[in-house]
Structure 1
């Protein structure tokens, strides 16, 4: 099997939302599985000593406008989230816990989480909202609560954050293709280029 594309992303990152279906399409095009790695971008940036982009007023102003424009560019419905920045640790833990047992359902869950937060204006940091999203992909309340708050999901997320720090991840989305890192939804053309033998 061809080596996978590793997809580091934060469920609170609009740019990861913009890239999420596109990177799966690129993976399918080149016969590469996509390994989702939910992380907490704030924790990764803190470890690297990098300021969060939304903490800088001029950058925040730019990004808020760019999010609207980028969603339109990617052809996606978008409503500015109920809160941003936000720690999506419950959603990330849940995804990791589900992925460990049922990768197919985890894939459905990932898209449902993104769409709830960035399209439907729902708060994915709220447990009842997570329970409802989980139910939409066939997860019981018990599975969602345990995944979001239990030790397994917590440990898997902590491991993913540590892995991202070690891999030099500097933003969300961040792709690793055959050992090469690419940051940003706007790097999708370069991902395709690399997979097409662009370095050859």
Structure 2
């Protein structure tokens, strides 16, 4: 029996580019028979440890990002709407409560982590709502059809969920991650691991593992 290609995808909901890479990669999960492992991580810890800086601290980068994200979303056919105050959403509110919930979902309901992540991104970058508000997080969980929302929310405050988030972030840093989205891909034949950064690396990922990239909407 063929061994599936393992892809670990590291992300924080604060990054719209992580959403774009996530959706494109998910579209290739079945066609390429990927063992896709989602790893929510703390982008602030990543930035701090790697010496990277956010786009809101660079006017040229921030101005470019506004139009660039809109074009990428249109290309991928995603219902993206820029945050009305990205600096506040990223630098003031952050995403820690959401990340803890995603880490809790990774432990309790791993089969629902993909959809909970998607619903969280839709909240921030389609409906422009506060993803740190518990009521909104509960809404995301219900939309993701989490079996027991109360259990998920309660567990997200436990040390085990917090430690899972720390472990994910440490794992990313150990692989030299400096931003999101970040991927590590292990070739099932050679065991060699490659690393990728950016929403537009899915085609290169396919090239590395010998799979054909067939556009942003591949046949399933």
| TM value normalised by structure 2 | 0.83
- 2:44 match: 42
Q: Distance between the aligned counterparts of 1:83 and 1:36, measured in 2?
A: 27
Greater Cα offset, 188-197 or 153-162: 188-197
- Give the counterpart of 1:104 among 106, 111, 123: 111
- 2:171 match: 163
Q: Is the partner of 2:129 in helix, strand or coil?
A: coil
Greater Cα offset, 183-192 or 128-137: 128-137
- 2:189 match: none
Shift of 1:197: 6.5
| Structure 2: 5+ residue stretches without partners | 187-192, 213-220
- Give the counterpart of 2:184 among 170, 173, 176: 176
Alignment of 1:1-200 (within 5 A): 1-85=3-87, 86=90, 87-139=94-146, 140-178=148-186, 179-196=193-210
The answer to whether the Cα contact below 8 Å between 1:79 and 1:120 also exists between their aligned partners in 2 is yes
| Structure 1: 5+ residue stretches without partners | none
**C-alpha offsets along residues 65-112 of structure 1, whole Å, 9 cap, x if unaligned?**
211111112111111125424221111111111121221122221111
**C-alpha offsets along residues 124-159 of structure 1, whole Å, 9 cap, x if unaligned?**
111111012112233445224324322222111111
Q: Distance between the aligned counterparts of 1:104 and 1:185, measured in 2?
A: 23
The answer to whether the Cα contact below 8 Å between 1:135 and 1:141 also exists between their aligned partners in 2 is yes
Q: Distance between the aligned counterparts of 2:19 and 2:178, measured in 1?
A: 17
The answer to whether the Cα contact below 8 Å between 1:10 and 1:92 also exists between their aligned partners in 2 is yes
| TM value normalised by structure 1 | 0.91
Pairwise CA RMSD: 1.8
Bigger helix share: 1
**C-alpha offsets along residues 28-82 of structure 1, whole Å, 9 cap, x if unaligned?**
2221111111112121010012222321111111112211111112111111125
